[in-house]
A and B are shown apart, each in its own frame.
Chain A
């Protein structure tokens, strides 16, 4: 067999011996059949490496599919290098490198084996078959057997199909936008996506709303609905295809200046534990306040904020020594120090007992009453729901994209969803596999109709 032919066969089939090539052809046929059943264009099975990625998608194991694609690519390239060594037995460079090639190939093959097992484990779940089928995956040469059986037999049908995202996007699209609000927050978000492995993955889509000043807003949604992504897009930290204005100023084009107008309190207490409370606040003030403010005024502001949040008695303590509630208050006061127009809090009550949580939300109500917009994510809203003005409900649709299912007053939300509590609303929009009612798409469409008029 000529070396060129070997090289071509290796590139196409990762093998050049007739038996192994035949096995690989059966593997490709198996992939063709599986892709057809899972709603992926079958011709992808003919393209080396991409085939492995789509195998992962079919098995509802997309991340593993990505790794499988990369390891397949590496196996092929290293095999080609091996052929080059055989091709040039006198090439000292290649001969010297061959032990290295073998070591790397061994490591890559090991990883390839593990990801193959994971992807096939995904197939056993998708096709609802016994895990014993994984025995066929131990040897690369036997993998075509389950693929041909699952793909070829009508007895086996996948429980999950790769969806036609484009069609799904069209179905749930909202056409319209929120009216620009000069004094308040206007969000017109077309989409927020990330590129994963040459593919667009939509995290958020079609969110249009306008929040007036002085409102305390609850942001509701199941896990993975895109609440934090939405907040990051609103404050401009992670830009989306959107236009967001705060009191008439564009959050994106003026981001460098507007970032001081937004106070974002993260879920975790992201502060240096080995610094003192006062020093932490002084540094926060130096960072967030104008540099033209004299140091004694800055210190005065720090003392003022410490007084508001009850941190004076612990001002010289190390942050790590504070209680959970004190840490939360410190975290909030770090953002409050610059007196921002928009205040965003991601689960500020996590780890707090009912009394402390109530006290904290009352504090937030007072901040909102000074004319600021306060948006809060919480998973236990019902105990403090009387303090909120509005609720934003984000839902994960069937294509796993976060969409707006509702924005309006608390009472309107109850009417819209036909539920009395916020927790019931969340349950109704959560996916069935998450223990919810799986009504997200319905409510998204219903709200889109309302918005579209």
Chain B
């Protein structure tokens, strides 16, 4: 400060002004006031609203099956990135002129950015808490014990906070780079799309560009969150949905004689059990019995009875009547009154038939029929197992190392963006006039 005559003595130049550390307090206090006056508090209800919508739409299958959980997890990561990004995308560029003026008056850029970081840290913690509460209320619950704390919700909270905070600092950096809010808001969608496309979980991207995932916050965020909810261990029930969708699809083709006979002897099948007791006649040969079954109107009901979802008795008997290995057996004289079941058993017990159980029969059938012929429960169990194995992703392994690795990955972004923000804003006095 000058003396009363306006002179600036050497002693006066030794006046000690606030250090970088001291200035952080000034700006942190200022930003807290802005929280109240500038309506920054509105980001909290916004976070609640977004979390509520996501939870409402995707919460039903969360932690029930693998695919539902992956989608919900991805959506939660998106919510965090969205929250973080919009917290700070305009904070520096909207007051760039003010920053420049204050920098001229002795403000340290590092103090300014660090106080922003502290303020945003507080905001991100609040947003994470709000998000978790809302998700819990709409049914996306992170119950159980965590890997690092006794409560899973705390572990998950750390992940959500880190994703939010890293996105926040990415936006802070962008805000230091650009000179106007319009430019910032133009860049923002590209950044968000980049984060979502290269998250690595939902979108299939060419192998050659996969290393780019390392540069996104969403990728380690999704990996950490998926690991915490133990995604790999959840059933992959999309297979059941898929089979249900194609169950009625006609595939035609060939089945073995053995499969058809087994089906007709399966007493546990209520339809088979019912029709086996029906007397089908006392003709001389099985072929005559078969032809009678296929042509006589009195057997019309029997013919239309379903042995599987779509395969009828008529179709099965017709397939047995095809020319081939059964010719000789079908022409054997039986000479007594027989039920349907006895006729099938007679056929199955024949030596020639036994030797030709693998012989193919042309039959009209659907995917469901084929599965039923093989054995539905066993087949579905096999499909589920294979699907789960193929969906297993080592990135989502439920281990401490995996989660900590991803946390550190996100923390690295936090550090990098903080340094970049300070470095970029240091050039504010080089702004083009």
Contacts and interface: CB of A to CB of B under 8 A. Distances in A.
Nearest to B18: A291
A287 B23 contact: yes
B15 A257 contact: yes
30 contacts: A92-B208, A96-B209, A235-B104, A237-B104, A247-B8, A248-B8, A249-B8, A257-B13, A259-B105, A260-B15, A261-B1, A266-B97, A268-B97, A270-B100, A274-B33, A275-B34, A287-B17, A290-B1, A291-B16, A292-B15, A334-B105, A338-B1, A339-B2, A340-B1, A340-B2, A341-B7, A371-B6, A372-B2, A372-B6, A373-B6
Given A275-B37, A287-B107, A340-B2, A270 B15 contact: no
A409 interface: no
B216 to A, nearest CB: 17
> When A and B form their complex, which 4 residue pairs have the shortest distance between CB atoms, in order from nearest?
A371-B6, A274-B37, A341-B2, A274-B38
Contacts of A258: 8, 13
A279 B33 contact: yes
Interface string B29-52: 110011001100000000000000
Interface string B402-433: 00000000000000000000000000010001
Contacts of B13: 249, 254, 257-258
Interface in A251-297: 254, 257-261, 264, 266, 268, 270-272, 274-275, 279, 283-284, 286-292
A286 B26 contact: yes
B309 interface: no
Nearest to B39: A274
Given A259-B105, A279-B33, A271 B4 contact: no
Contacts of A275: 30, 33-34, 37
B8 A283 contact: no
B229 to A, nearest CB: 33
Contacts of A290: 1, 15-17
A107 interface: no
A402 to B, nearest CB: 12
Nearest to A229: B433
A96 B34 contact: no
Interface string A331-364: 0001100111100000000000000000000000
A448 to B, nearest CB: 26
A228 B433 contact: yes
Interface residues of A, number: 51
A283 B34 contact: no
Contacts of B10: 249
A183 interface: yes
A6 to B, nearest CB: 25
Given A235-B104, A283-B30, 18 more contacts: A93-B208, A96-B209, A257-B15, A259-B105, A261-B2, A264-B105, A270-B100, A274-B33, A274-B37, A275-B33, A288-B106, A289-B1, A292-B16, A339-B1, A341-B7, A371-B5, A372-B2, A372-B6
A30 interface: no
Interface residues of B, number: 39
Contacts of B433: 228-229
A235 B429 CA distance: 13
A408 to B, nearest CB: 21
Q: Which of B7, B29, B34 has most A Cβ within 10 Å? A: B7
B433 to A, nearest CB: 7
B144 interface: no
Contact of B106 (A96, A287, A334, A373): A287
B6 A270 contact: no
A316 interface: no
A112 to B, nearest CB: 21
Contacts of B30: 272, 275, 279, 283
Nearest to B6: A371
